[in-house]
Amino acid sequence: MIPGLLPKLHEQRPEYECLYRGELAPDLAEVAPYLVQLEPSSDFTNWILEHGWGKHWGIFATSTVDLRAMRRHFRTFLIVHDEEGKPLYFRFYDPRVLRVYLPTCNADELKSFFGPVITYTLEDKNSDVMLCIRITAGSVQEERMTIKHS
């Protein structure tokens, strides 16, 4: 849950889509995953970085496709099935989940999960470190950068 996200989305008006379909009950809308197109130095982008970094609010994905195409891609990963075929929510948009999941993927799984995504950027275990993940020659390539707080 991201406190204050929905009012900020309505106030700042970045382009965004909920990953869940249809009209959501207010309590579900508060905790649902959202895909937001971030613009450099926008008020909304600054708010997300200032208030959300280090709190596992989400991940960042760089792509050349539009928001709707990204939503279609990400929606395919919302539900996964366990060994017995039971459906489970896959919270790939939580950096704690994604940074553990990606290194376990084989080349085909990486290709599928990345799809139109060029780079995933997320907080590392130490939130003073930004983790950028790409695929190169079918395997995960990670780059870590220390963040300077102002």
Q: How many folded domains does the chain comprise?
A: 1
Helix (H) or strand (E) holding 71, with range, is helix 67-75
Count other Cβ atoms within 10 Å, centred on residue 102. Answer: 20
The mean pLDDT value of the chain amounts to 94
Convert the pLDDT of each residue in 46-101 to its tens digit.
Answer: 999 999 999 999 999 999 999 999 999 999 999 999 999 999 999 999 999 999 99
Q: Residue 27 belongs to what domain range?
A: 5-146
**Helices and strands, number each (H, E), in the chain:** 6, 8
Helix (H) or strand (E) holding 108: helix 107-114
Two structure tokens written together for 65: 């496709």
pLDDT score recorded for residue 1: 73
Output the CA–CA distances (angstroms, integers) from residue 105 to 46, 49, 57, 96, 135, in the order listed.
Answer: 32, 28, 23, 16, 11
Could you tell me how many residues make up the chain? 150
